[in-house]
Amino acid sequence: MLELKKLSKTYKNGVKALNGINLTISQGEFVYIIGSTGSGKSTLIKIIDGEEVPTSGRCEVIGINVGKLKHSKVPIYRRNIGVVFQDFRLLEAKTVFENIAFALEVINAPKSLIRKRVREVMNLVGLDDKGHSFPNQLSGGQQQRVAIARALANRPMLLIADEPTGNLDPEMSNDIMTLLEKINREEQTTILMVTHDRELVNRHLKRTITLDSGHIKSDVLGGGY
Amino acid sequence: MANFFRRVTRHLKEGFWGVIRHGSMSISSISAVTITLLIIGVFLIFSINVDNITKDIEESVAIVAIVSFDYEEQTELDRIETSAKAISGVNDVIFSSKDQEWEYYQNLYETEETAAIFGPFQDVNPMHHAFQIEIENGDKIEEIATGIEAIDGIDSVEYGGASAVMLVSALNSIRYGGFVLVMAVSALAIFLIANTIKLTIYARHKEIGIMRNVGATNGYIRSPFVIEGMIIGFIGAIIPVTLCVFGYIYVYDLLGGVFLTEMFVMIPPHPFVLLLVAILSGTGILVGLVGSFFSVTKYLRWKR
Ligand SMILES: Nc1ncnc2c1ncn2[C@@H]1O[C@H](COP(=O)(O)OP(=O)(O)OP(=O)(O)O)[C@@H](O)[C@H]1O
Ligand SMILES: [Mg+2]
Task: Evaluate if residue A214 carries a pLDDT over 80.
Answer: yes
> Can you tell me the distance from the alpha carbon of B276 to that of B255, in angstroms, rounded to the nearest whole number?
20
Residue B19: CB partners within 8 Å, gap ≥ 6? B26, B228, B231, B232, B235
| Residue A22: predicted pLDDT | 96
B207/A93 CB distance under 8 A: yes
Task: Record the pTM.
Answer: 0.73
Helix (H) or strand (E) holding B55: helix B23-60
**Ligand 1 center–CA A18 separation, angstroms:** 10
Q: Helix, strand or coil for residue B137?
A: coil
| Residue B230: predicted pLDDT | 93
More confident call, B118 vs B214: B214
Each as own residue / partner, the long-range contacts of residues B168-171 (CB below 8 Å, 24 or more positions apart, any chain) are B168/B54, B168/B57, B168/B58, B168/B61, B168/B137, B168/B138, B168/B139, B168/B141, B169/B138, B169/B139, B171/B50, B171/B53, B171/B54, B171/B57
**Ligand 1 center–CA A83 separation, angstroms:** 17
Residue B12: CB partners within 8 Å, gap ≥ 6? B227
Nearest-ligand number for the alpha carbon of A48: 1
A39 lines ligand 1 (CB under 6 A): yes
Task: Evaluate if residue A121 carries a pLDDT over 90.
Answer: yes
> Contacts of residue A88 in chain B, CB cutoff 8 Å?
none
| Residue B161: predicted pLDDT | 63
> Can you tell me the distance from the alpha carbon of A49 to that of A79, in angstroms, rounded to the nearest whole number?
10
Please give the ipTM for the structure prediction: 0.88
Task: Evaluate if residue B237 carries a pLDDT over 90.
Answer: yes
A38 lines ligand 1 (CB under 6 A): yes
Side-chain half-sphere exposure of B239, counting CA atoms within 13 A: 12
| Residue B22: predicted pLDDT | 79
Task: Give per-residue pLDDT as tens, A49-74.
Answer: 999 999 999 999 999 999 999 999 99
Nearest to B56 by CA among B248, B257, B249: B257
The stretch B176-186 carries a mean pLDDT of 84
Task: Evaluate if residue B109 carries a pLDDT over 70.
Answer: no
Q: Please tell me which residue of chain B has the smallest CA distance to A150.
A: B214
Give the pLDDT band (50/70/90) at residue A217.
very high
> Contacts of residue B16 in chain A, CB cutoff 8 Å?
none
Task: Evaluate if residue B198 carries a pLDDT over 90.
Answer: no
More confident call, B185 vs A32: A32
> Can you tell me the distance from the alpha carbon of B212 to that of B293, in angstroms, rounded to the nearest whole number?
16
Q: Where in chain B is the domain with CATH 3.30.70.3040?
A: 62-158
| Residue A20: predicted pLDDT | 94
**Ligand 1 atom nearest residue A43's Cα:** 18
Task: Evaluate if residue A107 carries a pLDDT over 90.
Answer: no
Nearest to A121 by CA among A28, A187, A188: A187
A107 lines ligand 1 (CB under 6 A): no
Best of A9, A108, A118 to disrupt the B interface (most B CBs within 10 Å) is: A108
Q: Helix, strand or coil for residue A26?
A: coil
Q: Please tell me which residue of chain A has the smallest CA distance to B223.
A: A106
CB-closest option in B3, B22, B215 to A106: B215
Task: Evaluate if residue B13 carries a pLDDT over 80.
Answer: yes
The secondary structure of residue B217, as a DSSP letter, is: -
| Residue B206: predicted pLDDT | 84
Q: CA-CA distances (angstroms) from residue A3 to A57, A66, A155, A187? A: 11, 11, 21, 21
A18 lines ligand 1 (CB under 6 A): no
A89/B213 CB distance under 8 A: yes
| Residue B141: predicted pLDDT | 78
Task: Evaluate if residue B2 carries a pLDDT over 80.
Answer: no
Give the pLDDT band (50/70/90) at residue A102.
very high
- Mutation test of ligand 1: which of A16, A19, A21, A43 has the most ligand atoms closer than 8 Å to its C-beta? A43
B217/A75 CB distance under 8 A: yes
CB-closest option in A50, A103, A108 to B3: A108
Q: Please answer whether residues A65 and A59 qualify as being in contact, where contact means their C-beta atoms are separated by less than 8 angstroms.
A: yes
Q: Which domains does chain A have, with CATH numbers?
A: 2-220 (3.40.50.300)
Q: Please tell me which residue of chain A has the smallest CA distance to B212.
A: A75
Measuring from atom 3 of ligand 1, which residue has the nearest CA?
A11
Task: Give per-residue pLDDT as tens, A69-86.
Answer: 999 999 999 999 999 988
Measuring from atom 12 of ligand 1, which residue has the nearest CA?
A17
CA distance B191 to chain A (A): 28
> Given CB atoms, is B220 within the 8 Å cutoff of chain A?
yes
| Residue B110: predicted pLDDT | 64
Q: Please answer whether residues A67 and A47 qualify as being in contact, where contact means their C-beta atoms are separated by less than 8 angstroms.
A: yes
Q: CA-CA distances (angstroms) from residue A31 to A57, A177, A210? A: 21, 12, 11
Instruction: Give the strands of the sheet with B130-135, arranged side by side.
Output: B90-96, B130-135, B63-67, B154-158
More confident call, B118 vs B253: B253
> Can you tell me the distance from the alpha carbon of A213 to that of A10, in angstroms, rounded to the nearest whole number?
12
Task: Evaluate if residue A167 carries a pLDDT over 80.
Answer: no
A14 lines ligand 1 (CB under 6 A): no
Task: Give per-residue pLDDT as tens, B39-93.
Answer: 889 988 988 888 888 877 776 677 888 888 888 888 888 998 888 888 888 888 8
- Give me chain B's average pLDDT, please: 84
CA distance A103 to chain B (A): 5
**Range B62-158: architecture per CATH:** 2-Layer Sandwich (3.30)
Measuring from atom 26 of ligand 1, which residue has the nearest CA?
A37
| Residue B202: predicted pLDDT | 81
Nearest to B158 by CA among B61, B84, B83: B61
The stretch A2-24 carries a mean pLDDT of 95
Task: Evaluate if residue B211 carries a pLDDT over 70.
Answer: yes
Q: Please tell me which residue of chain A has the smallest CA distance to B217.
A: A75
A78/B212 CB distance under 8 A: yes
Give the pLDDT band (50/70/90) at residue A207.
very high
Task: Give per-residue pLDDT as tens, B251-268.
Answer: 999 988 887 777 788 889
Q: Please answer whether residues B33 and B193 qualify as being in contact, where contact means their C-beta atoms are separated by less than 8 angstroms.
A: yes
> Contacts of residue A150 in chain B, CB cutoff 8 Å?
214
The stretch A22-38 carries a mean pLDDT of 95
More confident call, B162 vs A145: A145
| Residue A71: predicted pLDDT | 93
